[in-house]
Amino acid sequence: MKYKQYKDSVVNKYSQGNTSIQISEDLNIPSYAVRRLLYENNIRLGRKTPFKSKNQISISSKLVEIINGSLLGDGFLSRYIMNNNRKNCNSKLMINYSTVNNEYTNHIFNLLNLECKTYKYCFNRNLENKKIKDNGIITINTCQNQSFNSFRDTWYPFGIKIVPSDIILTSLTLAIWFQDDGYKHKSGSYYLCTDNFSFADLKILQKALLRDLNIKSSVHWNGIKQRIYIKKESSEIFKNITQSFICPFMKYKLH
């Protein structure tokens, strides 16, 4: 390709939140060349028909851990029904991240892409025409496949996300959940955000934390939000089992 020497510059500028038009103007190359170079780096711009895989894909134990961690955090499973025909009703995992967290986005993308076909898109946004640091959303999509339907049925039995009663928490699952929706507390321990789950879901998660990882927890409620608090006596265990799975960009979340 004529503009191949610009690939690293294009990807770098894109990771900083620049649009394809801005990159085109900065590097003085056509916008189609920018899109092509991003495409070659597994970054696709604009909304497109979901990628499909007709053959059932193999779901490894590691992929199960990643999916569970993402669904406890920022991920969701979408299902597309074509022409009211449920035979074409297959699912895919989708996760939205801010462009500010591009390094972590790449970390999750690479984990998923090793297990199944995965794609990235970037959508720019404006806030009343003001330039803001958080000026875009990066969406990670797995391919749309029947192998993900069982996850959709388990996590969304009534169309609303719940926590499966038989969920198994591993160090990797917990680390992804924490990086998506967790933070450290001044007490020296940690919180896991569970605002969109029911109290019954939280009890399932508490039981799984203790049973699978020997982590003791409690539910803290401030009248509006309910969150899982890792008890101080288990904070060191929590850190030890998750830190090897924490992206360098997210290390600040650990004490």
| Section 26-46 average pLDDT | 76
- State the DSSP H helix or E strand holding residue 180, giving kind and residue range, or none if neither: helix 171-181
The predicted-structure confidence for 37-70, as pLDDT tens digits, reads as follows 887 877 766 544 445 666 788 899 999 999 999 9
pLDDT of residue 46: 52
Strand order in the sheet with 75-82: 43-45, 118-124, 136-142, 85-98, 75-82
- Across the chain, mean pLDDT equals 85
With 60 as the cut, is the pLDDT of residue 127 above it?
A: no
pLDDT of residue 48: 44
pLDDT of residue 44: 64
Using the CB atoms, write b or e for 184-208: b if 16+ within 10 Å.
beeeebbbbbbeebeeebbebbbeb
pLDDT of residue 99: 82
Taking Cα atoms as reference points, which of 119, 111, 116 lies closest to residue 94? 119
Question: CA-CA distance, 148 to 84, in Å (whole number)?
Answer: 19
Instruction: Decide which of 198 and 137 is more confident.
Output: 198
With 80 as the cut, is the pLDDT of residue 16 above it?
A: no
pLDDT of residue 188: 93
Total-model pTM: 0.77
Question: CA-CA distance, 144 to 141, in Å (whole number)?
Answer: 8
Using the CB atoms, write b or e for 45-69: b if 16+ within 10 Å.
beeeebeebeeebebeeebbbbbbb
Per-residue tokens: 129: 């025409």
Question: CA-CA distance, 102 to 108, in Å (whole number)?
Answer: 10
The predicted-structure confidence for 175-221, as pLDDT tens digits, reads as follows 999 999 999 999 899 999 999 899 999 999 999 999 999 999 999 98
Confidence of residue 32 (pLDDT cuts 50, 70, 90): confident
Taking Cα atoms as reference points, which of 10, 8, 13 lies closest to residue 136? 13
Question: CA-CA distance, 130 to 206, in Å (whole number)?
Answer: 43
Question: CA-CA distance, 94 to 222, in Å (whole number)?
Answer: 30
Question: CA-CA distance, 65 to 241, in Å (whole number)?
Answer: 14
The predicted-structure confidence for 72-117, as pLDDT tens digits, reads as follows 999 999 886 555 555 557 899 999 998 888 899 999 999 999 999 8
| Section 159-188 average pLDDT | 96
